[in-house]
Amino acid sequence: MKYEITAKRLKQALNSKNMIPQELADRSHINKASISQYINGSHAPSNISSGKMASVLEVNPLWLMGFDVPMSPTTPQNYCVSSTARRPAVTIKVLGRVAAGIPIEAVEDVIDTEEITEEMAKTGEFFGLQIHGDSMEPQICNGDIVIVRQQEDAESGEIVIALVNGDDAVCKRLMKYTGGISLISLNPKYDPMMFSEKDVLDKPVHIVGKVVELRRKF
């Protein structure tokens, strides 16, 4: 199963609504064959299809796409209101960029700070990163802040921050295949970045963290 996370969450959402795939197809206007492929994990839905299904299933589209966010629908404003307002908080740095060869703790391009809960902070090392560009729209927009747990690997289907060929970090959906990986934009106008196992070692391609939360300011 290539797209295990989305497949698992789609099944969970269907079960929670006591809905069969045919009903989801009828209400979302997505071909039933495509939905069957999403359920068995052989294909990943586009961001548009994810949004349509999430609307029918009344779940958060970001959750359906593999983010560590609540399953329940959440308006963008909710991402701006930190749950730390009522609980002890830990301040983390928000970086404007992450470059190859520079340890995250040594990056001087600090543009802001954010707060995370002590509970979250106990699970690892975290930093914030400001997103540049439109490759992850409409879910993640230019100027948004993502909260990232530092880690060197992630599951297929998760959103990661990766360094490619010595360039600044990119935010993409990670997909793993036999013999390689791809880094996929949520914006369909951008082609996937495909890498063989040799490419991963030679370029190199290096995962620096997993996106666990989105913060959006208005």
Active-site residue list? 135, 172
Enumerate helices (H) and strands (E) in the chain, giving the number of each. 7, 9
Taking alpha carbons only, the member of 96, 92, 210 closest to residue 161 is 210
Residue whose tokens read 């106008």: 189
Report the C-alpha gap between 171 and 97 in whole angstroms: 11
36 φ/ψ angles, rounded to the nearest 5 degrees: -60, -40
Report the C-alpha gap between 146 and 143 in whole angstroms: 10
Report the C-alpha gap between 28 and 115 in whole angstroms: 37
Report the C-alpha gap between 98 and 208 in whole angstroms: 9
119 φ/ψ angles, rounded to the nearest 5 degrees: -60, -45
Q: Residue type at 196?
A: S
- Paired tokens of 124: 């690892």
Report the C-alpha gap between 45 and 117 in whole angstroms: 32
Cβ neighbours of residue 78 closer than 8 Å, sequence gap 6 or more = none
